[in-house]
Chains A and B, each alone.
Chain A
């Protein structure tokens, strides 16, 4: 009860059953060394190769977009009735990926999941880059991109040309821009103490200036930490509903309509689950590479990878439950249009896009079930492979939802021909990969990929060497333990 004075030793206790979150014989200084050193060293050859490929992809994307703007989006293969194709598929896919970071920083913080400290920084960075990529698609989909500012409601002289507040597309503008802002603030405010550490270790004038500016004069005083913690809490509180709201509103883009296959009430939570699913898969893809290249296996341990695989099997199963619910209701509702969308256009493997539906089912529902097995959850190579499979599956989910619902309208005369993208649609998509990885490579080179301060925070409860010293506490009788703690 309140008023007791906890014993220091007991405050740092954690069950021996839990795996350490930091392996090896670490102290505070060693942690700083391990994580900051790659920033101070020259980039490796591998980094240059990866970075160059990313920039090349980005340039191809820029050229594709340049053509889109110059010649119009008629150079895409969108047609009647497929008004949304690869562009909106890619938009939803990237927004979905951008969910894991904030989930890890905000919701897992609330759930007090200590393992988040190893992966939150990189996941948050990934979130920001993914949302940046996502935003491109609806903007260029508008066609006359120079009028994109029309989406903002502000006093203007355009007379009756005004935003439609009843449209979920407008809600998207608010949801995504808010999400982006809060995620960015969260990520950056977390970076400040670490950037100050980099500044303090800097040897050149330029580095001192660069990291000094970015760290806003952080001195690590108690006052600074106090404010920092208060800010983190407020941002976590703000970010938690945002994790749900963004994909909820993306799902409204579809579900508020009366299009068969789009209009269904389960869409909001099911989209959120799918977004977290794909977000975690992308975190795995990136971090499995990062931990190897930057030698961070002691901070991003097999335990971390296993925990994320558990989230993947959980969210994959939730998504599976939603798929089957939809399929069931298409029959149960006895609505012939729903039945056509689900049983003819999707579940029928011989229909034009049947392969995409079953590909999605396999990648998102069947394949993650292998993660019920501990051995596979802790297999790094296998996890990497699976994370790619999941992201392919989640791309197909959006493709299936969008295209199979609209390629055949009510009248056979409004049935479109088979939709496949042009090189410029593909180029645009590849370009966002370029943007994403270019940003990520720069981030991994110039910023600490792991939250140094937060790892130090969990070291004394969950570091391998500290846990070894807890044997005595572990053997203590419960009554004694509680007595010691209370006095």
Chain B
């Protein structure tokens, strides 16, 4: 194949789409800001900021999932993913940008949405006389929130950047096995640091702080692992989508059905894993039936208005992947995989929607034009920045010690 296919170029079409989506998104943002953000109705304001909140966290976490994928495959000495490794690298390059936006939104909610005796989204911000919340302020307080948010996003960005730098370093000179081994060890060290930090943030504290604390009284030990599963499976779907796009454009010559098949396995397996965590959390709370815990599910099930979204979520994120991705052929079919990737991304975006919005607006479903508008803004930015990152470095890490294994990869 021609050598120019090793270097990605952002096509006019891609540019148009990304800018178009961003345009739509900005328009939605402006109209939303005027009609809801500046509204005298506090509830409308809360919906506006809540929508920004879950979108910013969702898109940040699914991009960060790409770096998690790189790090765990590095730690496991995985070889199969090397031919398309530059794709998750490019996706993870968006983390600092989305991180900055998320920081701005989170901080604005904490500091800018205090109306008299309450905060519009985080009730712990002004606990008033609530004895339970008052006792939680050791964890739920602005200084800790600020420090932990900055640390979380800062270290994801920094360690991710180190991983990408190391990867690019390998493009400079070819390595003999001994040098290759040393390079792998250097990768392993940073990947281990990232993975541990990922566990301490995404796997535990950060979702409690950003998301679970919206229902300030409520608690569930599973919450963060659930959030992780949701964002990781979406991250895999995102990788699949970009791989398919690049393949269709004639790039990634060494990536073939075998690799796509394995990405499909990840999408399948982690959809089931997400369902497993969903079921465990739901069933245990349903079974013991304690009011402190069931309160979370009240707007979401039975008589709750969010019931439709909540169960549709389960159909899209569990039944569809289970039935459609089960066979070998579907995981090797570009069209089916592209469709499923879009569906999974949409399904988990809706999951994040209900996780946040059903807590902010318990009495009516808010899913509407603003949600899709803000999502369009994010998708536009995602395409734009990932495209840029892809064009920066060669698409194939040609000196990676496991590249040859990846080329002959057979699933």
Contact = CB atoms under 8 A, between A and B. Distances in A.
Interface of A: 1-2, 6, 10-11, 13-18, 110-112, 241, 244, 248, 252, 255-258, 263-269, 310, 317-318, 321-322, 324-326, 328-329, 332-335, 372, 473-474, 476, 478, 481-482, 485
B363 to A, nearest CB: 26
Given A15-B401, A256-B287, A265-B284, A482 B177 contact: no
Nearest to A268: B280
A14 to B, nearest CB: 6
B333 to A, nearest CB: 12
Given A325-B204, A372-B192, A14 B220 contact: no
Given A255-B284, A478-B398, A478-B403, A332 B219 contact: yes
A64 to B, nearest CB: 35
A322 B224 CA distance: 11
B180 interface: yes
Nearest to B219: A333
Interface stretch (B9-17, B132-140, B340-348, B381-389): B132-140
15 contacts: A1-B256, A1-B257, A18-B77, A244-B276, A255-B284, A256-B284, A268-B276, A268-B277, A268-B280, A269-B276, A269-B277, A321-B203, A326-B221, A333-B219, A481-B407
A264 B283 CA distance: 11
Nearest to B80: A112
Given A258-B288, A482-B254, A317 B199 contact: yes
Nearest to B277: A269
Contacts of B401: 15, 17
B181 A321 contact: no
A334 B407 contact: no
Contacts of B248: none
A17 B280 contact: no
A2 B257 contact: yes
Interface string B120-135: 0000000000001001
A305 to B, nearest CB: 15
B150 interface: no
Contacts of A310: 75
A264 B219 CA distance: 10
Contacts of A324: 204
A17 B132 contact: no
B204 A17 contact: no
A483 to B, nearest CB: 10
B372 interface: no
A268 to B, nearest CB: 4
Given A10-B408, A17-B177, A264-B284, 19 more contacts: A1-B256, A2-B257, A15-B401, A17-B402, A18-B77, A112-B80, A252-B284, A255-B284, A263-B288, A265-B223, A266-B225, A317-B199, A321-B203, A325-B221, A325-B224, A328-B139, A332-B136, A332-B219, A481-B404
Interface in B171-195: 177, 180-181, 184, 192
Contacts of A258: 288, 290
B281 interface: yes
Contacts of B223: 265
Nearest to A461: B405
Contacts of B257: 1-2
Question: Which 10 A-B residue pairs are closest in the complex by CB-CB distance?
Answer: A266-B221, A265-B222, A16-B177, A268-B280, A256-B287, A265-B281, A333-B219, A264-B221, A334-B132, A265-B220
B404 A473 contact: yes
B407 A478 contact: yes
Contact of B405 (A15, A111, A263, A269): A15
Identify which of B177, B192, B221, B396 gathers the most chain A CB atoms within 10 Å of its CB.
B221
Nearest to B226: A265
Contacts of A333: 219, 292
